[in-house]
Structure 1
Amino acid sequence: MRFEAESELVREAVSAEYAEFVIAITELGGVTALMGILALLFWWGDRRQSALVISYAIAGLAVLLAVKTAFALPRPPEDAMLVALEDEREGYGFPSGHAFAATVVYGGLLSMSDRAREPWTVVGVVALVVAVSLSRVVLGVHYLGDVIVGMLLGVGFVVAMNRLTRGVPAVGFAVALVLAVPALAITGVSEDTVLAVGGALGGLLTAGRIDRLPALRSRLEGVALAAVGGSGIVVLQVAESVVDATLALGVLYAALVAWIFVVPTVVGRVGDRLVDSSVDNRRSRRPTEE
């Protein structure tokens, strides 16, 4: 049961004048926002935990695509939409990808956090996931049953991945690759399945270097990481928009995940060279000044 009647009550509770606000909330469960958040957390925080959740997100994408294709249930009719959103008409409707992804990413981060036992932190994460999920119903692109199943599936997936990976990111990406191959067979070659395969490969090839990455030394270096890393991601996304070949897309997606993991080394080495150059310049000036 997808709770069609209950979904209509949720949609009627929000008028079209709040559409921009609802869209902003729903974007917090989209691929771009989630990967951006995970990239920043990787550069600025606990890299092992963030990398692990990135592997969860990619593995989860493979599972979600396979489940959606297996059920092949349509989205609500077009007249149910709060506002016209052409991009949201594509694909199957059950279960909700945004509800699932938000649960996997935010729930995955919470499950590994030291604050997981703090009631208000748990309430905040749950509220965020529920808000993202309900925004899909308000927009009219999913039924209430779609998002409920998406959240429940996400919780079960996080629990399973926590047990399978034992906190090792490389294992998470290996699981993602194992899941992506049958998803590719079930759903056929599409941009999303290629993303799952390419992302899993990119993470698997670079995850072993995570523990050897240089530690963040200053806020300035953190800003540099965000600037350099973000610029690289934008370049890769622009390249993705003009590439049609399936193999090339897979390579780009692999490069995108790998770039997130290697950019701390790039920025660290550049910073070391700048420091060394500054020290050499000071030393060379001392005899003249004396």
Structure 2
Amino acid sequence: MRLEDESVVVREAYPAEYAELVLAVTELGGTTVPMVLLAVLFWLSSRRRTALVISYAVAGVAFLLAIKAALALPRPPESALLVPLSVDGYGFPSGHAFAAVVVYGGLCFAFERTQDRRWLAAIGAIVVLVSLSRVILGVHYLGDVLAGAVLGVAFLLAANRLIRGDPEIGFAVAVALAAPAVVVTGGVDDALLALGGGLGGLAATLSVDGFPETPSRTEGALLVAVGLAGLAAIRTAADAVTVAPIQVGAYAVLVAWVLFVPVGAARLSPAMRRPFDSS
């Protein structure tokens, strides 16, 4: 079922001297790169649509963690690793493959590009590359990434239908999924991140009627610079905390920060007080 033999073929076909390349590719389905990408898109583009994808991502983390904990299937043995890595958690299905589908596919849905072949080709390429990177690194079997990608498609279709384009509903769903995920997983960091992120996103979206537009490239660049600095500081602080309730609070602040930065900037700068973006 997990295609162990086929996974060996994939791993052995990849030259070990290019390990750095595959390590870079795999980050496209991790936590940091999608987080930064979605934050920057939120600050510079259609904020309601990007907030929707952020809610998909947070809800998806909780959903997948609960499934992995329920199945409790191990990762490949340490001998399969391409390079020494510290990898926790269960192996089936692949979280990176799942996240690649939910995040990049979510952007395709939110920005109404499902009929654009260039978008579909780009997203397909990202999902394939991320999935193969997990097999090459030896942290997943081929069956794990296939299952993760298929599950990601199913989750995205269901979320798109249930949430109906409303970020508030998306973050409420994330909280509803994250609470049991924390219990099932014993409170692992990613489950706490999902719960905190859901709570922070829900609080932020309920607190404002809309998000102000970015009026110029210069102010947009400043917004990104300030936003990323704050994002890095909050993430560093959150990673340093070991008490679960405080971690949840820190992750709530993390997501709320992303959503509130444009509002704070608009209050400080009269030039940025333009009509709210409802797209």
TM-score category of the 2 structures, normalised to the smaller one: over 0.9
- Per the TM alignment, residue 274 of structure 1 is displaced from its structure 2 partner at its CA by 11
Question: Is 1:34 aligned to 2:34, yes or no?
Answer: yes
Partner of 2:23: 23
Q: Computing the radius of gyration over CA atoms, which structure comes out larger, 1 or 2?
A: 1
Residue 66 (1) aligns with residue 66 (2): yes
- Cα 1:212–1:111, aligned 2, differ >3 Å: closer, same or farther? closer
Matched, 1:123 2:121: yes
> Whole-Å Cα distance in 1 between the matches of residues 209 and 146 of structure 2?
37
User: 2:209 and 2:117 mapped to 1: Cα distance?
Assistant: 31
Report deviation, 1:268.
Answer: 2.0
Please give the alpha-carbon distance, in whole angstroms, between the structure 2 residues aligned to 1:225 and 1:167. 25
Residue type of the alignment partner of 1:225: L
1:283 alignment partner in structure 2: none
1:234 maps to what in 2?
232
CA shift, 1:75, in A, is: 0.6
CA gap 1:106/1:118 in 2 versus in 1, 3 angstroms? same
The separation in 1 between residues aligned to 2:206 and 2:171, in whole angstroms, is 11
Once residues 27 and 165 of structure 2 are traced to their aligned partners in structure 1, the CA distance between those partners, rounded to angstroms, is 28
Which structure dedicates a bigger proportion of its chain to helix? 1
Q: Number of residues paired by the alignment?
A: 273
**Distance change >3 Å, CA 49–CA 138, structure 1 → 2:** same
Tell me the distance in 1 between the aligned counterparts of 2:25 and 2:175: 30
Question: What is the match of residue 288 of structure 1?
Answer: none
Match of 2:149 in 1: 151
Any residues of structure 2 matched to 1:1-290 within 5 Å, and which? 1-86=1-86, 88=87, 90-209=88-207, 211-272=209-270
Gaps of 5+ in 2: 274-279
Q: Which amino acid aligns with 1:269?
A: R
In 2, Cα distance between equivalents of 1:248 and 1:182: 18
- Contact 1:48/1:210 (8 A) holds in 2: no
Q: Deviations over 1:177-236 (max 9, x none)?
A: 111111122112221111111111001111135652211100011101111110111110
- Deviations along 1:123-146, one digit per CA (max 9) or x if unpaired, are 111111110011000101000000
* 1:241 CA displacement: 2.8
Per the alignment, residue 279 of structure 1 pairs with none
User: Counterpart of 2:276?
Assistant: none
Structure 2: how far apart are the matches of 1:187 and 1:47?
A: 32
- TM-score with structure 2 setting the length: 0.94
- Which sections of structure 1, spanning at least 5 residues, go unmatched? 276-290
SS at match of 2:29: coil
- Checking the alignment, whether the CA contact within 8 Å between 1:75 and 1:93 is kept in structure 2 is yes
- Give identity over the alignment, percent: 54
CA separation in 2, counterparts of 1:269 and 1:24?
38
Counterparts of 2:106 and 2:73, CA distance in 1: 27
Q: Which stretch shows the higher mean deviation, 237-246 or 152-161? A: 237-246
12 and 202 in structure 1: CA distance in 2 versus 1, 3 angstrom threshold: same
RMSD: 1.5
* Cross-structure match for 1:285: none
Q: Deviations over 1:140-179 (max 9, x none)?
A: 1000000000000000000000011110000001111111
